[in-house]
Amino acid sequence: MPPTDRIRDHAGQGATTVAAHRARRRLRADRARQLADLLRRQLLTGGFPTDTLPHESILAGDYGASRNTVREALDLLRAEGLVDRQPGVGTVVVARKYPHGLDRLMGLAETLHEHGRVTNEVRTAGPTPAPAPVAERLHVPPGTDVLYIERLRRLGGLPLSLDLTYIPLDIGTALLGADLENTDVFRLLETITGRPLGHAEITLEAVTADAHSAAVLEAPRGTAVLMLERLTHLDDGRPVDLEFIRFRGDRITMSGLLRRSC
Amino acid sequence: MPPTDRIRDHAGQGATTVAAHRARRRLRADRARQLADLLRRQLLTGGFPTDTLPHESILAGDYGASRNTVREALDLLRAEGLVDRQPGVGTVVVARKYPHGLDRLMGLAETLHEHGRVTNEVRTAGPTPAPAPVAERLHVPPGTDVLYIERLRRLGGLPLSLDLTYIPLDIGTALLGADLENTDVFRLLETITGRPLGHAEITLEAVTADAHSAAVLEAPRGTAVLMLERLTHLDDGRPVDLEFIRFRGDRITMSGLLRRSC
C-alpha cells in the first residue's frame, strides 16, 4: 500500500471515529428529548404529587434509558425552567403551567378561576385614533377614536400575560369607568352591551420575546411567548374586541379537543 | 439654601432626568410593540402584496407614530426573522408563516395542501417498550411494544416540525410498511384500520428550543417552538396515536374559531 493511501486510510478511520462519536451524541440527544417530552407531560398534569421527581436511577429503570440520557432529559426541563436540582432533595418541580381552555371562548379570570385570582395592572387606557388594520377589523372608519388598553395580567401576583386591546369607543367609554383591574374585559363587554359574546377568531404563534416585553413580563431575556391574536364578536356578529396577547410560555398551556368531522 | 440642600437638589434633578428618560424609552418601547403587532398581522395575512413594506415615513404617517417608533417596531419584526432590510429596496418580508387549522382534526399535509408538498424524513421507526405514561394513554399494558416514529417534516423542502409519535403495535406494524415519507400518519391510520379518526385532545405550549432540537429544525439557537401534544382517537374512541410535535415558531400559526356557548 503506498504511503498516501495509508495516510488516507488513517484519516478515514479518524473520520469514522468522529462520525461514530457524533452519531452516539445525536442518538443520546434524541433519546433525551423523547424522555423529556414524557416527563414534561407528567409535570404539567401533576404526575409527581410531591413535586419531587424520582431518583435518576429509578427514572432510568422506568423509562429503559441510560443514566446519561436521564440526566440530559432533566437538563432540558431545567433549561425550560420547569424543574430545578436541589442538593439533598433531588429534582423538584419549580414551575406550574396553567391550562387555558381552547374549547370555549373565555376570559382569563374565568378560565383560571380554580387556580387563583387574576389581577390586571392597567398600564394604559385611553382613546386613540384607529390605525387602518384595527379600524377594518372593528368595522369603524379609519382614524375614528377607539379605546386602547394595555394590561399586565397576573395570577396570584405572578405575571401571566401582557394584553393589548382595542375596543370601539361607544362601548369603550363605559369600560373606562369600570373595574378593569379585577374584571375580565369579556365580562365587562357583556354587562355594558347587555348581550352575550358570540365567537372569536384566534391565531396562536410561538415567538421569542423581545427584551422589553420579557422585562415587562418579568421573564428571562429570550423567553418564548405564546402570542394570541383574538377578534371577539358579540352574538349579533359585531366585532367589539381586538386583542394581542403575549402569554409567558413557561406559565400557560392551551388545551382543547379537536374533532375529525365538523 | 445651605450647600447640602443645593447638592440634594442637584441630585434630585438628575434623578428626575433619568426617570424621565426611562419613561420615554418605556413609552417608545410600548408603542413599538403596539405597532409591531399590527404590522405582524399584515405580514402574516399577505397585507403587503409585493412583500415590500411602505417607507418608514409612510408607516409613521399611517400609524400616527414617530419615525423612531417605526424603526424600533421594524427592528422587533426583524429580530423575529419576519422582515429584513435590503439596501436600496427597504424593508422586505422574508418569512412566511403557514396557518395550521385549529377547528378540525387534520394532518399536516392535509391542512397545508394549498401551500405546497409536505415530505417527511423518517429519522427513526421501530418497536419500543411503552413507558408507563405512553402505555396508559394508548390503553396498552406498560412495557408492551409500541411503534415509535420520529419524523422531520418539511414543506417545500423547509423544515416545519419535528414529530415524535407512539402507535399501538397492532396498527403500527402495518404502518411500518407504508409510505411514511409522503403520507400523513392520520391518513395511514384511517386506511389501515378502515375507520375514520374521531377526536384528539391537544395541548399547545410555547417553548424555547434546546440546542439539539433547534439544530434538527435548522433554526437559530434559542428559537421559539410551538409544542403540540396530541392524543388522537378513532371514531370508536380507541386512542391510537400519541404525538409530541415541535413546530418552528417562525413558520407556523394555529388559527381557529372559538364560541362563547358550546
- Using CA atoms, how far residue A155 sits from A112, A181, A217, in Å, is 8, 12, 12
- Residue A24 placed within a domain: yes
Residue A103's pLDDT is what?
A: 87
Question: Under an 8 A CB cutoff, do B33 and A80 touch?
Answer: no
Q: Looking at the complex, does the CB of residue B213 fall below 8 Å from at least one CB of chain A?
A: yes
Q: Are residues B108 and B82 in the same domain?
A: no
**Are A163 and A243 within 8 A, CB to CB?**
yes
Residue B221's pLDDT is what?
A: 86
What's the CA gap between A74 and A236, in Å, rounded? 50
Q: The whole model's pTM is what?
A: 0.90
Q: Are residues A85 and A114 in the same domain?
A: no
Q: Are residues A126 and A249 in the same domain?
A: yes
Q: Looking at the complex, does the CB of residue B236 fall below 8 Å from at least one CB of chain A?
A: no
User: What is the CATH classification number for the domain harbouring A51?
Assistant: 1.10.10.10
Residue B190's pLDDT is what?
A: 96
Residue stretches of chain A with pLDDT short of 50: 1-12
**Are A123 and A218 within 8 A, CB to CB?**
no
SS3 of A132, please? helix
Q: Are residues A86 and A105 in the same domain?
A: no
Q: Are residues A33 and A89 in the same domain?
A: yes
Question: Under an 8 A CB cutoff, do A201 and B255 touch?
Answer: yes
Question: Under an 8 A CB cutoff, do B133 and A235 touch?
Answer: no
Q: Which residue has the cell 387606557?
A: A125
Number of domain units in chain A: 2
B222 to chain A: nearest residue by CA? Answer: A222
User: What is the CATH classification number for the domain harbouring B106?
Assistant: 3.40.1410.10
Q: Which residues pair with B217 in a beta bridge?
A: none
The CA-CA-CA angle for residues B177, B154, B233, to 5°, reads 55
| Nine cell digits for residue A84 | 430545578
- Residue A83 placed within a domain: yes
Q: Are residues B105 and B82 in the same domain?
A: no
- Residue A260 placed within a domain: no
Domain carrying residue A9: 3-93
Average pLDDT value over all residues in chain B: 91
Element (H, E) at A228: strand A224-234
Radius of gyration of chain A (CA): 25
Instruction: For residue range B12-61, list pLDDT tens digits in order.
Output: 456 678 888 888 888 889 999 999 999 998 988 888 888 999 999 999 99
Q: Which residue among A41, A73, A93 closes a domain? A: A93
Q: Are residues B83 and B135 in the same domain?
A: no
Instruction: For residue range B173-205, list pLDDT tens digits in order.
Output: 999 989 999 999 999 999 999 999 999 999 999
- Pairing mode, if any, of strands A252-259 and B197-208? antiparallel
At A238, the amino acid letter reads: R
- Pairing mode, if any, of strands B98-101 and B118-129? unpaired
For helices B185-193 and B169-176, give the axis angle rounded to 10 degrees.
Answer: 110
Determine the distance from the C-alpha atom of residue A2 to the mean position of all C-alpha atoms in its chain, rounded to a whole number. 62
Q: Looking at the complex, does the CB of residue A236 fall below 8 Å from at least one CB of chain B?
A: no
Q: Are residues A89 and A163 in the same domain?
A: no
Question: Under an 8 A CB cutoff, do B261 and A124 touch?
Answer: no
Residue B15's pLDDT is what?
A: 65
| Nine cell digits for residue A60 | 432510568
Q: Are residues B118 and B32 in the same domain?
A: no
- Residue B186 placed within a domain: yes
- Residue B136 placed within a domain: yes
Q: Looking at the complex, does the CB of residue A127 fall below 8 Å from at least one CB of chain B?
A: no
Mutation target to probe the A interface, by most A beta carbons within 10 A, among B208, B223, B245 is B208
Pick the closest to residue A249 from B40, B246, B262, B137 (CA basis): B246
Q: Which residue has the cell 403596539?
A: B34
- Using CA atoms, how far residue A197 sits from A146, A241, A254, in Å, is 19, 10, 20
How far B130 CA sits from the closest chain A CA (Å)? 8
Q: Are residues A87 and A108 in the same domain?
A: no
DSSP letter assigned to residue A177: T
Q: Which residue among A93, A111, A127 closes a domain? A: A93
Q: How large is the ipTM?
A: 0.89
Q: Where are the alpha helices (DSSP H) in chain B?
A: 3-44, 56-63, 67-79, 108-111, 132-138, 169-176, 185-193, 211-216
Q: Which of B104, B148, B210 sits opposite A259 (nearest CB)?
A: B104
Q: Are residues A55 and A111 in the same domain?
A: no
At B70, the amino acid letter reads: V
Q: Are residues B88 and B102 in the same domain?
A: no
